[in-house]
Structures are given as C-alpha cells and as structure tokens.
Structure 1
Amino acid sequence: MPVAMFAALGFTVALLVTTAYFIMGSIPLLVLKHDTPLDARFVRGFFNIYYNAAFITATATAISFALAGRAGLAAGAVVLALIAVALRRKIIPRMDSLGAQIQANYMDAIPGFRRTHVIAILINIAQLVAIVWSLISLGR
C-alpha cells in the first residue's frame, strides 16, 4: 500500500475522530437551558471550533486521497470540507443572532437557539455516517 494511501487513511481517521468527538461533546450541551448569553456563547464557540477543525481535517483528507489516486473519496472529502464552511457561515451567525436576542430577554430566542443546536448535531451525525461509510467502502 503506497504511503499516500496510509496518509489518506490516517487523515480519514482524524476526520472521523474529530466528528465523533464533537458529536459526543455537543449532545451533552443540550442539557444547558440555553437561557443565558454565556450558554449561547459557549455552544457557539464549541461549534465554531468544530467547523474549523472539520474543514482542516476534511481538506487534508481530500488532498491525501487525491494524491493516492482515489478521486471519488477525495471528492467526498471536499464535499465535507465545503459543508463545514457552509455550516460555519450559516449556523454561527444564527447562534450569534439568537444569543443576542437571549441577552435582550427575548424568550422566543431560547427555543430557536435550541432548535439550531439540535439541527447542527443532526447534520454532524449525518456527516459521521458518511465518513464511516467511506471507511467501509475502502475495505472493498
């Protein structure tokens, strides 16, 4: 097995670990009432770090699969990197807006923030499934 393929597998595992770690970390954050600006800032910061880490690991995965000659898997990793960018541009500003509304005591913002948090988790779970599927397909 060429060195590029070992690197691709290593980066895929890093992407898997990054995604799984942040899912396991974000689900317990649902315990928070999301009723204080501190809760909103913390959850927002957590997802911001995840989206940056996901972009970096997905990009490295894409490059390594491209070098290993696995164009389909490289394209899949590029899609994951682009999803991370798109979600960061969509979810983070939404959390910022809702967090400001929570600070202004706009109580309808709390369910909106919670809903945004849950949607972000569900998307991350879908990404995890895609990553695991790609690992399974490597074995074939």
Structure 2
Amino acid sequence: MKVADRYLNRELSWLRFNERVLEEAGAKGNPLLERLKFLAIFEGNLDEFYMVRVSGLIEQFESGTLETSPDGLTPTEQLRRISQASGPLRQRAANMLHDTVLPALEEHGVHVRTYTDLSDRQRRELDKLFQSDIFPVLTPLILHPAHSVP
C-alpha cells in the first residue's frame, strides 16, 4: 500500500461530512423545520468551506505550489475533485428545498416569496422597512486592493 493511500483527503472528507448534513435535511423522519435548518447548515458550511479551504487551494495554485497533500493530490487535483463533488451536492440541496421543503411549508401556511412575487404595496412596505431598520445598521467593509472580495 502506497503511503498516499493511507490518508483521506481533508477537503474531500469534509465534503462527505457535509453530505451527511444534507442527508439529515432529506430525512422524512425529521420535523419539517429541522429539515429546513439542516439545509441552512449545509449551505452555510459549504459557503465557509469555499471561503476558507477552497480559497487557500486557489492561492496555492496561483502561487505555483506543486506540493501535494498527504494523500498525494496537488492543489489543482483537489480543486477539480471538489468541483466534481460539490456541484451535485448543491443541486441536491436546491432540489430538496424547491421540490420538498418549500411545498411542505406552503401546506403549513408558511409562504416564502421573492421580491418580484410581492405586490407593489408589499414592495413599498418592504423598502420602507429596509431603509428604516436594516440599512442603518449595515457595516461597510474596507477592502485592501490586494485581496479579492469573498
């Protein structure tokens, strides 16, 4: 057995963990709001994964780092495998939300709408709420020119 075969890739292992979170979102035995919570956790985890771990691999790639991970994968190979694994996971989550969770919420009187779904009156009320309660507490971020926006 090669040394690299003795190790699991940290990034791919983390994606498998997050897949188990997604499986909880799809478990019909879990209460509906718990399933929605698991979907939110899955998406939040995946966002953080891309901001921290994938951005680190991209930095390694851009710097020309050819060093391999303990399992023998280069940054480029890891990025390719992450892309192959995460795309279908994100699609499963979207399908689960739109095909199962949102319709079930509708049945219980919870209606999730986009801004374009709202009437003119509802949009005005929402705009007013945003201007009075949300916009004043938004914190501007100063970004250094050498760093990209997350």
TM-score, normalisation: structure 1: 0.44
Instruction: Give the structure with the larger helix fraction.
Output: 1
> TM-score scaled to structure 2, two decimals?
0.42
Report which structure shows greater RCO (CA 8 Å, sep ≥6): 1
Q: Which has the larger radius of gyration?
A: 2
